[in-house]
Structure 1
Amino acid sequence: MNSIFKKGKLALTILTVGICGTAWAQTNAPTKQEIHNSMQKVADWQIENFWEAGHGRRVHQPTNWTNGALYVGMMKWANLSDDETYTDFLEGIGEKTEWKLGERHGLYHADEHAVGQMYLELYRKFDDEKMLEPTQKQMEYIIYHPSQSSLHWKTPYHQDRWNWCDALFMSPPVWAKLTKITGEEKYLDFMVSEFKATTDFLFDKKESLYYRDESFFDKTDNGTKIFWSRGNGWVFAGLANILEELEPGTSEHKYFVKIYKKMAKRLKELQTADGYWAMSLLGAEYYPTPETSGTGFFTFGFAWGINNGILDKEDYTPVVWKGWNALQQCVTDDGMLGYVQPIGAAPGQAWPDKTEVYGVGAYLSAGSEVYKMAQ
């Protein structure tokens, strides 16, 4: 596989399934069977290769945030497919970790909470207290011993709070799910308070996008503000996963819908002609390479909004089809999702033969909602 790129212009990139580029920009709707088959192929490839390094990725700890994002999408696919193979895979992860959250960065760090989303979904399915208890206990501790850290980047213990936008995907949905499961408002109250603090800090009102963290406030890239695609994808997908748990009409639901709609309007404008979102959202001409993790999360977020009556179907459906059809061109014949930007915090590079588990999580999340849209 070869890729040829010229500055400011995307040349065509040959993949085993076709061409990943402008020539394939499509707004036609796929069939349910096509979506199902593609999701199954990608999910099966990922499970088969989960414990093996390669294709630009290393093997991550089961509780690592990278895998936490995978499990979010894999859980959606497991529920859609109604195939025990995928539920068994996720349940096996839970047994291996003893249903505990990550420990690498400490109790408060949002990345360590991401795996809790999968635990709580399996608890809903099996009603087994061991799947719930460790996550609930840790969130209880945080409520009663809240971090006093500043949101300013590089201050002591700064990531004990959600001071980088990725965190808004990792942790808040856990709190929202706990609220729905237990009926206790204290989890929601804590989450909303912290989410508002982060949004007040990182959200650019003019652009309706989130900075990755404070260190990007005064940086530019080729004269443009730096709004990282996957970073905003984390937020947009996180908003959908939070809203899924909230009661429509409540003040909390209205708060998150307001942010979600602002982002949706801006992101619709920023989708490229070939259906992707550039790694630097305001600098597409400088980042012509396709990128599938941000595109996957955005496609999921838009499709979820249409399916839940929050976004206008006529206005936004073409955005979803373009995004999903673009993603298809980056899936190889054996099911590997390529063009996933490696772990990072800013716009960078992506390659057709490199993948990552969080990109697959984004893809499966997108497919789960695109499937509902298809006739």
Structure 2
Amino acid sequence: MNKSILIMIAVVLLFNCSTAQKVATVEAPKVVSTIDKSDIKASMIKALEWQEAHPIFASAPTDWTVGAYYTGVARAHKATKDMIYLAALKNQGYWNNWQTFNRLHHADDVAISYSYLYIDMAGGRRNLVDLEPTKKFLDAHLYNDDEWKAGTDKSEMGKTILWWWCDALFMAPPVLNLYAKHTKQPKYLEEMHKFYMQTFNQLYDEEEQLFARDMRFVWKGNNKDAKEPNGKKVFWSRGNGWVFAGLALILDDMPTDYEHRPFYENLYKEMADKILEIQPEDGLWRTSLLCPESYDHGEVSGSGFHTFALAWGINNGILDKKHTPAVKKAWKALKACQHEDGRVGWVQDIGAFPEPASADSWQNFGTGAFLMAGSEILNLE
């Protein structure tokens, strides 16, 4: 693909981007029985156009923030088949030269490969995607020695396993699962399951059916970091959103006859029950799931991932359709957080525990969560 074609693609992507800035208010939305699919599609495209016109990343154009955003773009294309999404995906992959980021044992840095795999599987120009960098990363990530795997890092975060923080369960497992499917190499799925179970065993709270972000927040007697002012355990909305959305992505591509699939389905159902139980009246989850009064406002990145995962479960027959009104309510609230120009606000900044957001706070991964939610809401009845 030459530069002139890419420039034309960029012009198409940015042409309709509005420059108006109006703060969205978040109020308890009225739930309607029908879904205006044209309105949802328009909101998603506006979000894409604004984000493409305002690129941002934490470390590099291949880091986890960009990976999460383009996962949302991939899901939007899967749901709509609109070429504007595929153009954006191909454009970023080309300019990234199909590379991952450089921390071979950090799950965050493989997240970008979800979009590369999706492009390769979606068809189009043959040999456009170079999956060799992804393969090299995955092989090093899984099979090379590392201090986390060896359990020699004794930090309070619990860096004694490869995926020691719950966010990792969105960043790496869906990619490994999809790579195994695409290349027909089940060994990558087996490795994914092995490391997933380590994280599950270390961070999942069986009583609350939620994940601690890392070992600092695992309930250990008088561990003050693991306790909210109301006495409840600390469970971060986006952290659990990463896990919950990651489960939906995994189940979407995991073979139906895979021997460990029941584990993932049961975990999905447990988390779905909890997320639905604690959904606030206005539809949006707070940054602290069990202490919503700490920051009593909705937050889009965690809520977007929760909405995506719940809608996916309904659409795929894993979750009862009786929960559809709750999911529709969540989408209405998410949409109220979008500015008229397409920017998605009320996104908590990069972090590792519950913190506040505002109408004007945004991040690319928040846009990705918004697109993921919309992609599944479109398929609700």
Query: Which TM-score bucket, shorter chain as reference?
Result: 0.7 to 0.9
| Runs of at least 4 residues off by over 4 Å | none
Aligned to 2:171: 170
The answer on 1:122 being equivalent to 2:127 is no
Cα distance in 1 for residues equivalent to 2:68 and 2:79: 17
Whether contact under 8 Å (1:67, 1:115) holds in the other structure is: yes
| Letter of the structure 1 residue corresponding to residue 340 of structure 2 | D
In the other structure, the counterpart of 2:44 is: 39
Structure 1 segment 273-292 matched on structure 2, within 5 A: 273-292=281-300
Q: How far did residue 85 of structure 1 move? A: 2.9
**Corresponding residue SS for 2:130:** helix
2:104 equivalent to 1:98: no
Aligned residues of 1:143 and 1:190 also touching (Cα < 8 A): yes
Q: Structure 1 residues 254 and 59, CA, compared in 2 at 3 Å: closer, same or farther? A: closer
1:313 aligns with 2:321: yes
Q: Name the CA shift for 1:199/1:42 in 2 (closer, same or farther; >3 Å).
A: same
1:294 counterpart = 2:295? no
Q: 1:290 to 1:121 in 2, by over 3 A?
A: same
Query: Which structure 1 residue ranges, 5 or more long, are not aligned?
Result: 1-14, 52-57
Q: Which moved more, 1:122-131 or 1:317-326?
A: 122-131
Conserved? CA contact 2:24–2:359, under 8 Å: no
Contact between 1:122 and 1:131, CA under 8 Å: does it hold in 2?
A: no
1:208 maps to which residue? 209
- Asked whether 1:368 is paired with 2:379, we answer no
Distance in 2 (alpha carbons) for counterparts of 1:45 and 1:151 = 44
Cα distance, 1:99 vs. partner? 0.8
d(CA) in 1 for partners of 2:130 and 2:26? 40
Cα offset, 1:80, TM superposition: 3.2
Distance 1:157 1:261 in 2: 27
Conserved 8 A contact 1:210-1:227 = yes
The CA distance in 2 between the partners of 1:254 and 1:344, in whole Å, is 32
The CA distance in 1 between the partners of 2:37 and 2:171, in whole Å, is 29
The match for 1:19 is: 25
Q: Which residue type is aligned with residue 190 of structure 1?
A: E
Where does residue 136 of structure 2 map in the other structure? 137
CA distance in 2, matches of 1:18, 1:226: 28
The answer to whether the 8 Å contact 2:62/2:101 transfers is yes
Query: Within 2, Cα distance between the matches of 1:280 and 1:152?
Result: 28
Aligned residues: 350
Q: Secondary structure at the match of 2:307?
A: helix
Aligned equivalent of 1:350, options 339, 357, 362? 357
Determine if contact 1:230/1:294 at 8 Å carries over to the other structure.
Answer: yes
What is the Cα deviation at residue 184 of structure 1? Answer: 1.2
SS at 1:244 equivalent = helix
Distance 1:114 1:45 in 2: 22
Normalising by structure 1, we get a TM-score of 0.88
Closer, same or farther in 2 for the Cα pair 1:327/1:140, shift >3 Å?
Answer: same
Tell me by how many angstroms 1:48 deviates.
Answer: 1.4
Alpha carbons of structure 1 residues 155 and 98: separation in structure 2 relative to 1, 3 Å: farther
Is the alpha carbon distance of 1:189 and 1:334 closer, same or farther for their aligned partners in structure 2, counting shifts above 3 Å? same
Q: In 2, distance between residues paired with 1:87 and 1:153? A: 43
Secondary structure of 1:30's partner?
A: coil
Residue in 2 that maps onto 1:12: none
Structure number with higher strand proportion: 1
- 1:48 corresponds to 2:48: no
Report SS of the residue matched to 1:19: coil
Distance across 2 between alignment mates of 1:328 and 1:156:
35
Paired residue for 2:276? 268
Letter in 2 for 1:145: N
Return the offset for 1:27.
5.3
Residues 113-262 of structure 1: pairs in structure 2 closer than 5 A: 113-126=110-123, 128=127, 130-147=129-146, 148-150=149-151, 154=155, 158=159, 161-217=162-218, 218=223, 219-222=226-229, 223-262=231-270
Q: Which moved more, 1:200-209 or 1:151-160?
A: 151-160
Aligned partner letter, 2:319: L
AA in 1 matched with 2:371: L
Report sequence identity in percent.
39
Shift of 1:138: 2.1
**Could you report, residue by residue, the CA deviation over 1:224-246 in whole angstroms, capped at 9, with x for unpaired residues?**
10000000000000000111111
Query: In structure 1, what is the Cα distance between the partners aligned to 2:152 and 2:212?
Result: 13
Q: Over residues 255-285 of structure 1, what are the superposed CA-to-partner deviations in whole Å (9 max), with x where a residue is unaligned?
A: 1101100000011101001001111100112
